[in-house]
Amino acid sequence: MKNNKYLILRRIIQIGILFLFFSGANFGINILKGNLSTAIVADKFYLSDPYAVLQMLFTGYIPAVEVIIGAVIILVFYSLLGGRIFCSWVCPLNIITDFASYVRKKTGIKPALKMKTVSGNIRYYVVILGLLLSFITGIASFELINPISIFFRGLIFGSVFSLSTVLIIFLFDLFIVEHGWCGHICPVGAFYSLTGKFRFLKIYHTYENCTLCMKCKRVCPEIQVLEIIGKETGNIKSSECTDCGRCIDVCDDNALKFKLKM
Amino acid sequence: MSEEKNKDFKATSRKDAIKTIFKGTGYLALGGLVWGGYVDDRKKPELVLRPPGALKEDIFIKACIKCGLCVEACPYDTLKLSIPSDNKVAGTPYFIARDIPCYMCTDIPCVPVCPTGALDMTSLYTDDILPKPDVNKIRMGLAVVNKESCIAFWGIQCDACYRACPLLNEAITIEYDKNERTGKHAFLKPVVNAEACTGCGICEHVCVTEIPAIKVLPLSIATGKVGNHYIKGWDPEDEKRLENVNSDVNNDKDNSGAIDYLNNSDDLLEDEE
């Protein structure tokens, strides 16, 4: 039987967060207002995207302290809980890029470049470049082109044109580079993998149960993190793991599970 | 032998390190030039009206985190968030006065929700004991009349902008003038007063011409600047600027060269003969 527990749970959370923002903007329900760049929770306190605030600081503008506190809350939350857990459980673009790999698998389309032929380190250069350009040009440079926030704003404020950005990402992932956006370019995910080195929530592999079916490697969007599969028992160490739980879903041998480790 | 091998290994790794650094610099340079070029293009001063209390445009685009809270707070749907195809800084709030102007809510709901301070409430405070925002201190832009397309300047009676202005007879006043063409009618010409105009755009919204003859432009575009060397001699306040000015004219300059040059120019005199 196909098990999609975590996939369904993730979609519920992703769409749920989107819906809360949407109702904040359109129905006057104040649980979450704003968007992923900065949100106000129940009209009480702010949450901010730490990478966006960091870019803002690099432009030389110091925002109100509530925003900085909001960014620190988010940073500490993701760093401690799951690093890139943002990517697979919150980010709306994840639905698009997952859909691209789903289409690729169903149709057998081969992208121009396989996942491993393009260095996975480009994204870290993008992180640095985003800050550097913010400093030089005096405007938060990645926020100017950030497809996550463009998509999110488009969904909340209903602008159809924003969807062209999403289409670019979808086609890029489908035809040009396998897992191209999330796995190679996106500096937001890269930022969280840099700060998520010491996260608590990790995926735990039990070597003894593994039958080497390699189903996990076929679904994983960051294959390099699964290097210990079939080799040793232990945690997935690399913070490039998005904690999406797809590998747990597809594993028929109870060899993978989530584990909170302090 | 083993030592030699070791040496070889070291040499390769150093070469690799240099290569890696070279490659990294290349990535950064390539990405930086393409991306930086786009960013630089986008941050040019824009012909766009910002919400009340917005910081100066160049600081505003640094400070705006693009959360859209001001847009959500606006009860008239005046404010919009720009999208990438708008040719503006994507995600920043703006309004188009001709479509929906700012209706100048007295509690200014769009400003206090701004989390970063890109919309600054303190700039709207009056000098009262209790800080209280004053809508009339808002400066989103300045209305400018194009007298060629304004029918009031043709002699047709129209005072739509004058009547619609929330600061009636302050921001827009009517100037009476004789209509020489008919000889017996008056021109009732609208005149915008920059000291009072908030840039709300209601005048632009109600203007009866096909393309509005009165338009609100961003202050940086609608206003000029005289420069420091002009002083209003009739204004005692302005005259004060002269008090501490060093008015000594520097006469130490050696002018002998120039004088000698003229006196010694024999050739000139000879030519005249």
Chain B CB contacts of A68 under 8 Å are none
Choose one of B79, B106, B137: the last residue of a domain.
B137
B235: in domain: no
- pLDDT 10s digits, B129-150: 677 788 888 999 999 999 999 9
Whether chain A has a CB inside 8 Å of the CB on B116: the answer is: yes
Nearest by CB to B62, which of A35, A59, A165?
Answer: A59
Nearest by CB to B72, which of A33, A64, A165?
Answer: A33
Tell me, yes or no, whether B130 and B211 share the same domain. Answer: no
Residue A64's closest chain B neighbor by CA? Answer: B116
Give the pLDDT band (50/70/90) at residue B104.
Answer: very high
Measure in Å the smallest separation between the Cα of A41 and chain B Cα atoms. Answer: 12
Measure in Å the smallest separation between the Cα of B46 and chain A Cα atoms. Answer: 14
A9: in domain: no
CA distances for B176 relative to A160, A207, B148, B184, angstroms: 49, 93, 17, 13
Instruction: Give the Cα separation of B187 and B216 in Å (integer).
Output: 23
Choose one of B199, B222, B245: the last residue of a domain.
B222
Tell me, yes or no, whether A145 and A239 share the same domain. Answer: no
B227: in domain: no
Tell me, yes or no, whether A252 and A170 share the same domain. Answer: no
Tell me, yes or no, whether A176 and A97 share the same domain. Answer: yes
Whether residue B67 and residue A34 make contact (CB cut-off 8 A), yes or no, is yes
Chain A CB contacts of B27 under 8 Å are 122, 125
A244: in domain: yes
The domain tally of chain B equals 2
Whether residue A141 and residue B31 make contact (CB cut-off 8 A), yes or no, is no
A179: in domain: yes
Measure in Å the smallest separation between the Cα of A203 and chain B Cα atoms. Answer: 32
**What local confidence, expressed as pLDDT, does residue B1 receive?**
40
Choose one of B81, B113, B137: the last residue of a domain.
B137
Whether residue A140 and residue B85 make contact (CB cut-off 8 A), yes or no, is no
B259: in domain: no
Q: Do residues A112 and A175 lie in contact, with contact meaning Cβ atoms separated by under 8 Å?
A: yes
Whether residue A165 and residue B36 make contact (CB cut-off 8 A), yes or no, is no
B260 pLDDT exceeds 90? no
Whether residue B72 and residue A24 make contact (CB cut-off 8 A), yes or no, is yes
Of B52-66, B198-212, B230-244, the one with minimum mean pLDDT is B230-244
Nearest by CB to A141, which of B27, B35, B115?
Answer: B35
What percent of chain B is modeled with pLDDT above 90?
Answer: 40
Q: What HEC string does A54-77 produce?
A: HHHHHCCCCCCHHHHHHHHHHHHH
Residues 165-194 of B with CB under 8 A from A: none
Domain that includes residue B78, residue range: 40-137
Interface probe, candidates B30, B57, B72, B89, chain A, greatest A C-beta count within 10 A: B72
B10 pLDDT exceeds 60? no
Nearest by CB to B81, which of A56, A125, A157?
Answer: A157
Choose one of A158, A174, A195: the last residue of a domain.
A195
**What local confidence, expressed as pLDDT, does residue B270 receive?**
61
DSSP A218-253: HH-TTGGGGTTTTT--EE---TT-----HHHHH-SS
Tell me, yes or no, whether A138 and A186 share the same domain. Answer: yes
Length of chain A: 262
CA distances for A15 relative to A9, A89, A90, A212, angstroms: 10, 10, 8, 34
User: What's the mean per-residue pLDDT of chain B?
Assistant: 84
Tell me, yes or no, whether B74 and B124 share the same domain. Answer: yes
Measure in Å the smallest separation between the Cα of B113 and chain A Cα atoms. Answer: 9
B13: in domain: no
CA angle A160, A162, A163 (to 5 degrees): 75
Tell me, yes or no, whether A175 and A246 share the same domain. Answer: no
B32: in domain: no
CATH number at residue B49: 3.30.70
The domain tally of chain A equals 2
ipTM score = 0.84
Nearest by CB to B115, which of A61, A66, A137?
Answer: A66
**What local confidence, expressed as pLDDT, does residue B267 receive?**
65
> Which strand (E) or helix (H) includes residue A122?
helix A122-137
Q: pLDDT (tens digit, 0 to 9) for every residue of chain A, 262 residues total?
A: 467 888 899 999 999 998 988 888 888 788 888 888 888 888 888 899 999 999 999 988 888 888 999 999 999 998 888 888 899 999 989 999 999 988 988 888 888 777 777 777 888 888 998 998 889 888 888 888 888 888 888 888 777 667 788 888 899 888 888 888 998 889 999 999 898 888 888 888 888 888 888 888 888 888 888 888 888 888 888 888 888 888 888 888 888 888 887 6
Whether chain A has a CB inside 8 Å of the CB on B112: the answer is: no
Tell me, yes or no, whether A65 and A186 share the same domain. Answer: yes
A143: in domain: yes
Instruction: Give the Cα separation of A68 and B117 in Å (integer).
Output: 12
A27: in domain: no
Whether residue B40 and residue A137 make contact (CB cut-off 8 A), yes or no, is yes
A253: in domain: yes
Tell me, yes or no, whether B182 and B103 share the same domain. Answer: no
B272 pLDDT exceeds 60? no
Whether chain A has a CB inside 8 Å of the CB on B37: the answer is: no
Instruction: Give the Cα separation of A1 and B202 in Å (integer).
Output: 64
Choose one of A173, A195, A217: the last residue of a domain.
A195
Chain B CB contacts of A133 under 8 Å are 32, 35-36, 39
Give the pLDDT band (50/70/90) at residue B4.
Answer: very low
Whether residue A132 and residue B28 make contact (CB cut-off 8 A), yes or no, is yes
Tell me, yes or no, whether A165 and A79 share the same domain. Answer: yes
Tell me, yes or no, whether B44 and B132 share the same domain. Answer: yes
Report the SS3 class of residue A83.
coil
B93 pLDDT exceeds 80? yes
Of A36-40, B172-176, B238-242, B243-247, the one with minimum mean pLDDT is B243-247
Whether chain B has a CB inside 8 Å of the CB on A126: the answer is: yes
CA distances for A5 relative to A67, A237, B244, B259, angstroms: 35, 23, 79, 98
Nearest by CB to A159, which of B43, B61, B83?
Answer: B83
How much is the average pLDDT of B85-109? Answer: 87
Nearest by CB to A162, which of B71, B83, B117?
Answer: B83
Tell me, yes or no, whether B112 and B174 share the same domain. Answer: no
Tell me, yes or no, whether A129 and A189 share the same domain. Answer: yes
B237: in domain: no
pTM of the model: 0.80
Tell me, yes or no, whether A51 and A166 share the same domain. Answer: yes
Tell me, yes or no, whether A126 and A239 share the same domain. Answer: no
Tell me, yes or no, whether A146 and A235 share the same domain. Answer: no
Choose one of A151, A167, A195: the last residue of a domain.
A195
Residue B30's closest chain A neighbor by CA? Answer: A129
Tell me, yes or no, whether A226 and A174 share the same domain. Answer: no
CATH number at residue A247: 3.30.70.20
What percent of chain B is modeled with pLDDT above 70?
Answer: 88
**What local confidence, expressed as pLDDT, does residue A2 receive?**
63
Domain that includes residue A115, residue range: 47-195
Tell me, yes or no, whether B152 and B208 share the same domain. Answer: yes
Tell me, yes or no, whether B86 and B163 share the same domain. Answer: no
B229 pLDDT exceeds 50? yes
B118: in domain: yes
B248: in domain: no
